[in-house]
Amino acid sequence: MRVFVTGASGWIGSAVVPELVRAGHEVLGLARNDASADRVRALGAEPHHGDLDDPGSLAAGAKAADGVVHLAYHHDFSQMAEAARKDRAAIEAMGEALAGSGGPLLIAAGTLGLRPGEVGTEEDRPDATVHPRVANSAVALDLADRGVRPVAVRFAPTVHGPGDHGFVATLVGVAREKGVSAYVGDGANRWPAVHRLDAGRLVRLALDGAAAGTAVHAVAEEGIATRDIAQAIGDSLGVPVESVAPEEAAAHFGWIGAFFAFDAPASSERTRALLGWEPTHPTLLEDLAAGAYLQRP
């Protein structure tokens, strides 16, 4: 299959592309500039010049392929609504290009907001008020009525591994700056996690085998107590570990405080049974203990 991948040179995309190539797929990777194109080539893919700000370039990439893996996103917390709008336009443009083909359209989504305080499953539908991006999953899944095979790949909020600059790297940065590794309240709330390489393999399996209109979960660990995450960060940095009152979380952590206070465990039991996916790479706490987050950005 010829697969168009947006975000091909990004954190998750750079794990997905080699998986697809090894499985015999031909990959066309979105590249915003020459440097991105070089990274796409190094991964074994052909660059396709374009940008999320140009839906026409995305439609052209989709038309040149048999299916799409859409991983690119503007992660700007100061412009969340605008980023979600651009994401929706991208999904609609690529969905239109694939209409009637039966080709797969995999989109990146998340597990936050599925069932707060309980274990979320693939059958649950997320709360659209958690993040403006959430509603875009419904837009994509509705494309099943237009002869597309849409699949929502819901990633754990932490996709970890050496080189990660996401949520956990942000928490490490806060702990380094404050001189204390903190958690919110009693720290019993849970965060799911998945290693980047395990996530890459899941995307490939979902592309090949997930049914139209379904959701799959890139979740290796159902829920790690945030106090255990804070302890592992404290141990790796050699700083004390303390609780922060919920009303002080925003002041201590900044924007990530609200997310770190969520209790949002998620299961991947059905995904594993459907696709035969079994994570094999290090856990989040193992990565922290091994010093994966000690290097300064």
Single-letter code of the amino acid located at 3 = V
pLDDT in tens, 141-196: 889 999 999 999 999 999 999 999 899 999 999 999 999 999 999 999 999 999 99
pLDDT per position as a tens digit, 21-69: 999 999 999 999 999 999 999 999 999 999 999 999 999 999 999 999 9
Instruction: Give the integer Cα–Cα distance in Å for 229 and 217.
Output: 21
Which amino acid would we find at residue 60?
A
Average pLDDT over residues 105-130: 87
Alpha helices in 5-68 (DSSP H): 13-22, 34-42, 55-63
Distance CA 3, CA 244 (A): 46
Read off the pLDDT band of 290 (50, 70, 90): very high
Q: Residue 52 and residue 36: Cα distance in Å, rounded?
A: 14
Q: What is the pLDDT of residue 86?
A: 92
Domains defined for the chain, CATH in brackets = 2-158+194-220 (3.40.50.720), 164-192+222-266+282-289 (no CATH)
pLDDT, one tens digit per residue, over 254-289 is 999 988 999 999 999 999 999 999 999 999 999 999
In angstroms, the Cα distances linking 177 to 158, 237, 249 are: 21, 11, 15
Q: What is the DSSP string of 237-291?
A: HT--EEEE-GGGHHHHHTTHHHHHT----B--HHHHHHH-----SPPHHHHHHTT
| First CA to last CA distance, the chain | 37
Residue 93: pLDDT over 60? yes
What pLDDT was estimated at residue 31?
A: 96
Given the DSSP bridges, would you call strands 104-110 and 149-155 parallel, antiparallel or unpaired?
parallel
pLDDT of residue 131: 67
DSSP assignment string, 167-195 = HHHHHHHHHHHHTSEEEETTS--EEEEEE
**Mean pLDDT for the stretch of residues 101-118:** 92
Tokens describing residue 35: 């440097």
Kindly tell me if the per-residue pLDDT of 215 is higher than 60. yes
pLDDT for residue 296:
64
Question: How much is the pLDDT for 133?
Answer: 75
Confidence of residue 130 (pLDDT cuts 50, 70, 90): low
CA distance 18 to 146: 30
Burial of 94 (0-12, 13-18, 19+ CB in 10 A): buried
Residue range 194-210: average pLDDT? 98
- Of 39-48, 71-80, 171-180, 222-231, the one with minimum mean pLDDT is 71-80
- Can you give the pLDDT at residue 126? 77
pLDDT band at 297 (very low <50, low <70, confident <90, very high): low
Predicted model pTM: 0.94
Secondary structure (3-state) at 130: coil
pLDDT at 232: 98
The token pair at 149 is: 């095979």
Percent of all residues in the chain with a pLDDT value above 70, rounded to a whole number: 97
**Whether the predicted pLDDT of 77 surpasses 70:** no
